Amino acid sequence: MQAIQGPALFLAQFASDEAPFNTFENIIEWAASIGFKGVQIPTWDQRLFDLDRAAHDLQYCQYIQDTLAKHNMVVTELSTHLQGQLVAVHPAYDEMFDGFAPDHVKGNPDARQKWAVDQLLKSAHASKNLGLTNHATFSGALLWPYLYPWPQRPAGLVEAGFDELANRWIPILDEFDRCNVNVCFEIHPGEDLHDGVTFDMFLAATDHHPRANILFDPSHFVLQQLDYLQFIDIYHERIKMFHVKDAEFNATGKQGIYGGYQSWIDRAGRFRSLGDGQVDFKGIFSKLTQYDFGGWAVIEWECCMKHPEAGAEEGVKFVNDHLIRVTERAFDDFASSGIDHQTNRRILGLK
């Protein structure tokens, strides 16, 4: 068995214009100082990372690695969550998702999508240049407004949506394949890939593309009331990445999984800092270890109450306490009889 690596930190929620979160060097020094061993880098934040350079400039990639190495850290993966979202946008969300795009493509959905695809293609090469094998992203969504079947969905609508989603992603997946990098979709509400059934539909539409894989984040399954431990049993061969994020779900007589349009603090389902929610992380770390997951435990901090720096500091200890030092021998080896092959055949009555 492989051991899960960690702890690592997704930098997206920590980047700001204030030190030490305003430059790559500063934020790495801070993360190392509180015990992180790796970072997952958001590719859209120019304060931390220049995707255009990383896609073709090996010296820049060496600078990234050298900066991390000074603090005994590594880059675990790159992320294109925001750009991946823009690969497929339903018109109802055009204005809101324009906020994820540069000014020159805002108000132009076709140009925005082409820009997003180009960002993904660059990320494939940047990942390759950094020696990475997995990449984090969102799938985008054409069907999310039709999640609840009222009014009744027209026959074939869902199939047409997944066919189009696959058509947009297959060239991207092929480019990642040429770079020997897995695309790991975070299974997430708001995306067309938001549970196991929708991931299966996407796999079928992409002819089970070998680079279509999963970023496993149990918090989103708590909010959907989905069995996240059984999910690992079913999809462990496709799970290549792991976000360690906690959540809780407390239904009331007034509110369930849809949340009643409430803010995060007032929702029945809400994200919490590690250890403050309901996720069974002992079960998760055990199952991932059982299935030989050797990737990184990456903390994605999102909490409606606790300060992010407190969440990060507490998260380091939380992950370290859950990492399993894998055994190199069976627990009952002390009782081994050391019998050889011929003896085994005699025991079975064979000559």
Q: Round to whole Å and give the CA distance between 39 and 42.
A: 10
What pLDDT sits at residue 345?
86
H-helix or E-strand spanning residue 161: helix 157-178
In order, the DSSP letters of 65-121 are HHHHHTTT-EEEEEEEHHHHHTTSB-GGGHHHHGGGS-GGGTT-HHHHHHHHHHHHH
Structural domains of the chain, with CATH: 5-348 (3.20.20.150)
Pairwise CA distance, residues 339 & 260, whole Å: 66
What's residue 331's pLDDT?
A: 58
Return d(Cα 113, Cα 165) in angstroms, integer.
12
- Cβ atoms of 192 and 198 closer than 8 Å: yes
Mean pLDDT by 10 residues, the chain (351 residues): 95 96 97 98 97 98 98 98 98 97 98 98 98 98 96 97 98 98 98 98 98 98 98 98 98 97 97 97 98 98 94 97 85 64 87 79
- What pLDDT sits at residue 247? 98
Does the pTM surpass 0.85? The reply is yes
Q: Are 38 and 65 in contact (CB under 8 A)?
A: no
- Output the pLDDT for position 330: 65
The pLDDT of residue 194 is 98
pLDDT given at position 339: 76
Q: How many CB atoms lie within 10 A of CB 176?
A: 28
